[in-house]
Amino acid sequence: TETAAMPKMLSLEPIHESLMVPTNSDVLQALLASDLKVLMACGGKGICATCHVKIRKGQDKLTPRTPREQRTLGFITGADPASRLACQCRVLGD
Ligand code: FES
């Protein structure tokens, strides 16, 4: 539908920036496209966790965790229920 295809808003903290990104963009690509430096040691394969982000609001507006993402987050310290790997989630809503 038209609504589904509309750009979605991604608000970034603590830098107080908002990005409009195409629906279904992966978060890592959206961040890189806006010239933000994000480490991505594994090249976006969901295995290094250098792209770890925390979703403060709207977890349900992202695609669910993949099994690989789940496994990788299980290996790192500092992961919590808000944690996602930016390369493994896609934006479905604001
Ligand atoms: Fe390696 Fe995302 S870039 S897990």
Q: 77 with 52: CB under 8 angstroms?
A: no
Residue whose CB lies within 8 A of the most ligand 1 atoms, among 76, 85, 89, 90, for a mutation test: 85
Which atom of ligand 1 is the closest one to the Cα of 85? Answer: 2
Query: What pTM did the predictor assign?
Result: 0.91
Confidence of residue 82 (pLDDT cuts 50, 70, 90): very high
Q: 19 with 94: CB under 8 angstroms?
A: no
Beta bridge partners of 26: 90
DSSP three-state, residue 2? helix
Q: What is the mean pLDDT of residues 26-32?
A: 93
pLDDT the model gives residue 92: 96
Q: Largest Cα–Cα distance of the chain, in whole Å?
A: 41
pLDDT the model gives residue 3: 66
- CA 58/CA 61 separation, integer angstroms: 5
pLDDT the model gives residue 2: 52
